[in-house]
Structure 1
Amino acid sequence: MSFLDHLIIMPILLPLGAAALTLLFDDTRREIKAGINFAATILLVAVAIALLMQTDAVTREGTELTVTYQLGNWPAPFGIVLVADRLSAIMVLLAGILGINALIYSMARWQAAGPHFHMLFQMLLMGLNGAFLTGDLFNLFVFFEVMLAASYGLLLHGSGVLRVRAGLHYIAINLAASSLFLIGVSLIYGVTGTLNMADLALRIPHVPANDLGLLHAGAAILGIAFLVKAGMWPLNFWLPTTYAAASAPVAGLFAIMTKVGVYIVLRLTLLLFGEHAGASFGFGQTFLMIGGLATIAFGTVGVLASQSTGRLAGYSVLVSSGTLLAAIGMGDRAVTGGLLFYLVSSTLTISAFLMLVELIERARVAGADVLAVTMEAYGEDDEELEHEEEVGVVIPSTMAILGVCFALCGLLLSGVPPFSGFISKFAMLSAVLQSEDAASPIPASTWWLIGLLIISGLASLIAMTRTGIATFWATLEGQTPSVRVIEIAPIAILIALCLGLTVAGGPVLRFMDLAADALHTPTDYIEDIIGTTPAAHAGGAS
């Protein structure tokens, strides 16, 4: 086997090896640990790009749609299998991009705020990549727990009362979700006798009618565990507080954590309960649609009600998750392409915004918000104001840079044309309207989705404008924050990537449409996993 045949396992082995290597050094030698972390994450991005190109190449050649890797050379469904297609390769690359930028930001000061930061950072990347690449539900649970265990430590990194309180709530909620995960997996295994995803897709259509209730109960319990992580209402009350309490680089990396739940829900919904699923076809889609719409509405209200920039960012995460879940609930192939575009664009934007929050908060004077509310309620002495002549204030370069980044984040989150946020939403909405039968009326759920997407975008624009005026255009004088290049550079890179998505919107959408076609036609995916024979070795198969 060539090196390319082992490429798929590298996103798991690289972080695992780097995490183990950092443990050999004491925390006083932080520069060495940071160098190991940085080198491993850069290599991870390179491997993810190569893996994405590999999945794209085999698809265009028409030989196969997925890249599979049998650990121990045991054939599926008996052994552990890793699977890479366009979607999983996109997610691995997205995790690597967020990881390298969050790491760069952390090198300014956050890496020194607590022990074992770099080890936990790499273990989180390992858990994320394993969840995206595994083809087995039990191993999905293993990587899920690795990811969560690392996220517990990273969320508590830096201590502080608010961070510890939010961290304990986060741990308790996710432990409950993990229990539901195990219960759901146990029920599904009891009915089908397998946990390999491709094998499940083959067996579910043949489940006896009297066992369907147990199968659906297991799938529903399993889905709740993922929807807790995805942040669907009413399972998401923990999320805004948690994301606001996390340190800036950790929050920036956590932007992809909710997308893990969305990814798994999307993968399993189309693979296990798609058109080939027989009596189980479409299971859970109506629930996802209603839950997604409720999440958008809840997030929109939260965005408008937020009095702090951190909570504004947290509720923006909910709007993003709700949009994705509602789009999955539509179950339409054309909508899925726009959904994937929106997933990438919103994740990059929210990660940049979550890291930008800390820099913006440095410019705010303690008590300024309270004083501003007081002045608005009771007014000022008009006679004093008449004697004040405001000629203008020169904006420091730091504030100008932060203001530009904040404005671009606001435009991207709001979906204002011509940016990538608008392109992705327009792609989803146009697909929804064009997919309906011209002879039948458009369903009410479609109108609800269109209306909520427009209203949520307007709410984001209003909230971001209000926050921008209070921060960058307030009459109260604040202090110019001390911002290092190493802190603003990752934010600029993520925003530049979003602008790149805008410029390359056509090719990116075509790529996402191909990924959506593969998701909605899982026959090749199943055959590539189940039909793969063990590799031959000189000494025999292992």
Structure 2
Amino acid sequence: MTEWLHHLLILPILVPLAVAAALVPINERERTLKGSIGFVSTLVVFVVTMILMRLAAAGEDSLPGDGVYQLGNWPAPFGIVLVLDRLSALLLCLTSGLALAAQVYSMARWHTAGHHFHSLVQLLLAGLNGAFLTGDLFNLFVFFEMMLAASYGLLLHGSGPLRVKAGLHYVAINLAASSLFLIGVSLIYGTTGTLNMADLATKLAALTPESRMLVETGAALLGIAFLVKAGMWPLGFWLPTAYAAATPPAAAVFAILTKVGIYIILRLHLLVFGAAAGASAGFGQSWLLAGGMATIAFGAIGVLASQAMGRLAGYSVLVSSGTLLAAIGLGHEEMLAGALFYLVSSTLTIAAFFLLIELVERGRDAAADVLAVTMEAYGDFDQDEEEEEAGVAIPGTMAVLGLCFSLCAVLMAGLPPLSGFIAKFALLKGLFDMSAADPAMAISAADWTYVTLIILSGLAAMIAMNRIGIRTFWASIEGTIPRVVIIEITPVAVLLAACLFLSFQAGPAMRYMQATADDLLAPALHSERVLSAPRAGGR
């Protein structure tokens, strides 16, 4: 039984990879069949990741093989290893859940907009899962490229001049980032002789100053590549346009892509450049702090300036990334659990919002939107005309869409009592608890700046969502009632229900996040677990 559970660790990579290859030769006229196969595949992966998350929640001792899977039965650092802990299990479950929602939504009509949609989703899922599970930098590069290759196709899915233009920019920028990734990996391997992250963490402190400089140069290049994907200012200028141009199901899955960069930065920052790294401890932390705060400010301004909901969602992704990057840059251990809670809540919210946007705008007229803005600025042109009705009846479809939009607005603004508020409260509570626990650790100017930006970014989201919501649902200019089918609104409702579940089960969720944070803050135990994992058969 234990051996069987051990092999579950590789299924989140093998299953979508095999299904992606199997779907390619099936004729595109059989899209319903391809969609059904893809859905079953993602559902299997989701169930597997739930089992893995349950095992991880019980502790590493409950994981078969201590959560280390040695491909080819070669031990680290000589062979390729997959490593499961609470953080990777959490992100695996989140990724497969978003992929399920996107696939169900796409089967209404979006999977017919281009070729091989379901194959690309499976390939993206395999790349993401591999990036979260891999224990060495070279295979991280392999899975990173697999993920990017699939995202290129998904962004261009559906064609159209705006989508093609944004897609070509996205491809060029990410190819440049991949080149930096490869150069950085080469510098680190040439200096240390290893790319296993656990092994690298044990060797860094003993490096000579000359070797340390090369490793830090390689790490800086890696950091740039990951920060491009995370969307840190000024490297994330491409993100709002690209995400707004993508089809709704593709954009919903893309909500997790920025978290890949943040995951790797967090993993390397605490494992490789932690307190045991000697002179390299905390490498790049000040840059993460400054860049994260600039990203929050840039994203909040973009949210306020956005007139289109797609761009508003894209800038909200930047606010989310900046909040997490700045939390890492502050270096306060007490904030880590709150940051992980915020990562999950913001990703679910933004993914749901990307799916909702197309449903809401389906019945909107662009000319009516322009006229609504004009009337808002200059007033009604015919104010002397007597109103015929005291109110406007809201059709059932618009009522459901309006409820979902309101939940998204509350979550994105961080208003109580939902998970967006709980996440921000946990972040700020960790910040103030740090000062209360140690009077010598007074709250610094950087801490207060972070608090101010968190509050102002929430205010910006509230203003922007209220403005767009009033124009869409309460303006006197009437649009066509959109036709929404069940398989389109269901994924939105499920993602928002997951946020509600986080709100009502915040206690158990925060305990899991705190246990995850404790794991990350014990890098020596992680390295020992990976490097001392026994080979299969006890040899």
2:343 matches 1:343:
yes
| Alpha-carbon contact 1:64-1:528 (below 8 Å) kept | no
Q: Secondary structure at the match of 1:370?
A: helix
Q: Which amino acid is the alignment partner of residue 366 of structure 1? A: A
Give the aligned partner of residue 243 of structure 1. Answer: 243
| Alpha-carbon contact 2:434-2:441 (below 8 Å) kept | no
Bigger Cα displacement from structure 2, 415-424 vs 17-26:
17-26
CA offsets per residue over residues 322-356 of structure 1, 9 Å max, x none?
Answer: 00001111222221100110000000000000111
CA offsets per residue over residues 163-188 of structure 1, 9 Å max, x none?
Answer: 00000000000000000000111111
Give the Cα–Cα distance (whole angstroms) in 2 for the partners of residues 478 and 384 of structure 1. Answer: 23
| TM-score, scaled to structure 2 | 0.97
Give the aligned partner of residue 411 of structure 1. Answer: 410
CA offsets per residue over residues 225-247 of structure 1, 9 Å max, x none?
Answer: 00000000000110000110000
In structure 1, runs of 5+ residues without a counterpart are none
| Alpha-carbon contact 2:60-2:67 (below 8 Å) kept | no
Give the Cα–Cα distance (whole angstroms) in 2 for the partners of residues 383 and 330 of structure 1. Answer: 54
Distance apart, 1:209 and its partner CA? 1.6
Q: Which amino acid is the alignment partner of residue 507 of structure 1? A: P
Give the aligned partner of residue 265 of structure 1. Answer: 265
Give the aligned partner of residue 390 of structure 1. Answer: 389
**Per the alignment, do residues 75 and 377 of structure 1 end up closer, same or farther by CA in structure 2, a change over 3 Å counting?**
closer
Q: Which amino acid is the alignment partner of residue 389 of structure 2? A: E
| Alpha-carbon contact 1:184-1:219 (below 8 Å) kept | yes
Give the aligned partner of residue 537 of structure 2. Answer: 536
Give the aligned partner of residue 18 of structure 1. Answer: 19
Give the Cα–Cα distance (whole angstroms) in 1 for the partners of residues 194 and 459 of structure 2. Answer: 47
**Per the alignment, do residues 454 and 65 of structure 1 end up closer, same or farther by CA in structure 2, a change over 3 Å counting?**
farther
Give the aligned partner of residue 488 of structure 1. Answer: 489
Distance apart, 1:500 and its partner CA? 0.2
**Per the alignment, do residues 397 and 283 of structure 1 end up closer, same or farther by CA in structure 2, a change over 3 Å counting?**
same
**Per the alignment, do residues 40 and 64 of structure 1 end up closer, same or farther by CA in structure 2, a change over 3 Å counting?**
closer
Within-5 A mapping of 1:290-301: 290-301=290-301
In structure 2, runs of 5+ residues without a counterpart are none
Percent of pairs with identical residues: 60
Give the Cα–Cα distance (whole angstroms) in 2 for the partners of residues 514 and 454 of structure 1. Answer: 27
Give the aligned partner of residue 469 of structure 1. Answer: 470
Give the aligned partner of residue 368 of structure 1. Answer: 368
Give the Cα–Cα distance (whole angstroms) in 1 for the partners of residues 443 and 17 of structure 2. Answer: 50
Q: Which amino acid is the alignment partner of residue 414 of structure 1? A: A
Q: Which amino acid is the alignment partner of residue 267 of structure 1? A: R
**Per the alignment, do residues 285 and 451 of structure 1 end up closer, same or farther by CA in structure 2, a change over 3 Å counting?**
same
| Alpha-carbon contact 1:177-1:228 (below 8 Å) kept | yes
Give the Cα–Cα distance (whole angstroms) in 1 for the partners of residues 473 and 304 of structure 2. Answer: 19
Within-5 A mapping of 1:94-105: 94-105=94-105
Distance apart, 1:533 and its partner CA? 2.3
Give the Cα–Cα distance (whole angstroms) in 2 for the partners of residues 159 and 382 of structure 1. Answer: 42
Give the aligned partner of residue 42 of structure 1. Answer: 43
Give the Cα–Cα distance (whole angstroms) in 1 for the partners of residues 393 and 387 of structure 2. Answer: 17
Give the aligned partner of residue 115 of structure 1. Answer: 115
Distance apart, 1:440 and its partner CA? 4.9
Q: Which amino acid is the alignment partner of residue 448 of structure 1? A: T
Distance apart, 1:378 and its partner CA? 4.4
Give the aligned partner of residue 180 of structure 2. Answer: 180
| TM-score, scaled to structure 1 | 0.97
Q: Secondary structure at the match of 2:276?
A: coil
**Per the alignment, do residues 472 and 213 of structure 1 end up closer, same or farther by CA in structure 2, a change over 3 Å counting?**
same
**Per the alignment, do residues 37 and 382 of structure 1 end up closer, same or farther by CA in structure 2, a change over 3 Å counting?**
closer
Within-5 A mapping of 1:442-481: 442-481=443-482
2:524 matches 1:523:
yes
| Alpha-carbon contact 1:41-1:99 (below 8 Å) kept | yes
Distance apart, 1:366 and its partner CA? 2.4
| Alpha-carbon contact 1:55-1:66 (below 8 Å) kept | no
Matched residues, number: 536
**Per the alignment, do residues 208 and 304 of structure 1 end up closer, same or farther by CA in structure 2, a change over 3 Å counting?**
same
**Per the alignment, do residues 512 and 152 of structure 1 end up closer, same or farther by CA in structure 2, a change over 3 Å counting?**
same
Q: RMSD of the alignment, in Å?
A: 1.5
CA offsets per residue over residues 355-392 of structure 1, 9 Å max, x none?
Answer: 1111111121121122123334444445643x233322
| Alpha-carbon contact 1:255-1:347 (below 8 Å) kept | yes
Bigger Cα displacement from structure 2, 250-259 vs 436-445:
436-445
Give the Cα–Cα distance (whole angstroms) in 1 for the partners of residues 483 and 356 of structure 2. Answer: 13
Give the Cα–Cα distance (whole angstroms) in 2 for the partners of residues 151 and 427 of structure 1. Answer: 33
Give the Cα–Cα distance (whole angstroms) in 2 for the partners of residues 440 and 202 of structure 1. Answer: 29
Give the Cα–Cα distance (whole angstroms) in 2 for the partners of residues 288 and 167 of structure 1. Answer: 27
Give the Cα–Cα distance (whole angstroms) in 1 for the partners of residues 352 and 66 of structure 2. Answer: 31
Give the Cα–Cα distance (whole angstroms) in 1 for the partners of residues 376 and 275 of structure 2. Answer: 58
Q: Secondary structure at the match of 2:55?
A: helix
Q: Which amino acid is the alignment partner of residue 274 of structure 1? A: G
Q: Secondary structure at the match of 1:367?
A: helix
Distance apart, 1:471 and its partner CA? 0.2
| Alpha-carbon contact 2:372-2:475 (below 8 Å) kept | no
Distance apart, 1:217 and its partner CA? 1.0
